[in-house]
Amino acid sequence: MIKVYFALFIGIVCVSLASIFIKLTGDVPSIIITVYRLVISSFLLLSYSFFKKKNVFGNDKKVLLIAALGGIFLSAHFIFWIASIQYTSIPSSVTLVATSPIFVGLFSYFILKEKQGSAIVISIALSVFGSIILASSDGGLFFKTFDKRALLGDMFALLGAVAVSGYFIVGSYLRRFMDIMSYITVVYSFAAFFSFIAALFFKEPFFGYNESSYLYMVLLAVIPQLIGHTSFNYALKYAKTSVVAISTLGEPIGASILAYVIFNEKIILMQGFGMAIILISILIAAMKAQKEIE
């Protein structure tokens, strides 16, 4: 139980840094950032598997097909979400993409046939309510302002939320019979491949960016991707998909605080109120997770 809590905590801390690294690579298109993030992380994982002489891909075509689907979802998630950060503020982007639990809850019910208890339903409702308050206040809705560019970024973030929901569903299924290293190596590799193909299709250049951008993309691959996402994937084996997804809602809080410190993106009262509601939803999910694991 402690290991699961610790994994979720580490995951939240690491993924909170993702939006900061992305913001610092403003000269790089979202698809290229996605390619570097996934290619670097999958290369490191494949290298580890090679030296360990471990066949992570196996011979089960059905598993590989489902893993490929997970790779498509993960690739789409990063492309849309990274693009959203380049159009709207960090608090809005990370909060809207964190609405994935409502999609995970729906997908889990209809696809995985997972029954959602009252505690999960309440936590999802609270998380969505808190996310709406946080995103609306940051977007200026309470002050009767409207920003078309920010709206486009918000739409990208929501598409990222839908995509990552599919990724969580696939992970919940595959983690039932795949160890963590095999799972992340295979899915990250497929995601890297599809991202690379997308970059070629849109004819985005792979080089010619600021030197600092390459450093931040490496950090993005190691900290949020390898450490952060792997922590969540570890937890998927021991807790419901909805519980893990709701735990990721800690990212908007951590990212918003970092955005204020680094970029001076201030947090107003209504944003703080939204964050408090999100925290409550995470606590409810954590309490539910403890009962399930024990």
Tokens of 49: 């598997």
Q: Which residue bears the tokens 């809005």?
A: 92
Domain chopping of the chain, boundaries:
2-293
Give me the tens of pLDDT residue by residue for the chain, a chain 294 residues long. Answer: 677 878 888 988 898 999 999 999 989 999 999 999 999 999 999 999 999 888 888 778 888 999 999 999 999 999 999 999 988 888 778 878 877 777 777 777 776 666 667 777 787 788 788 877 876 765 565 555 666 777 788 889 889 989 998 998 888 788 788 888 888 899 999 999 999 999 999 999 999 999 999 999 999 999 998 899 888 878 877 777 667 767 777 787 888 888 888 888 777 777 778 878 877 877 676 666 555 545
What pLDDT sits at residue 4?
81
Residue 92, SS3 per DSSP: helix
Taking CA atoms, 194 is separated from 141, 187, 256, 275, in Å, by 36, 11, 30, 34
- Quick one: DSSP state of residue 59? S
235-262 burial: b if 16+ Cβ within 10 Å, else e:
bbbbbbbbbbbbbbbbbbbbbbebbeee
Q: Which residues contact 204 (CB under 8 A, 6 or more apart)?
A: 29, 31, 32
Residue 266: predicted pLDDT:
75
Q: How far is CA 43 from the centre of its chain?
A: 20
Predicted pLDDT at 293: 47
In SS3 terms, 236-259 reads as CCCCCHHHHHHHCCHHHHHHHHHH
Residue 224 to residue 246: CA distance in whole angstroms: 17
Please give the pLDDT value at position 213: 96
Q: Which backbone phi and psi does 55 adopt, to 5 degrees?
A: -85, 95
d(CA 279, CA 273) in angstroms, rounded, equals 10
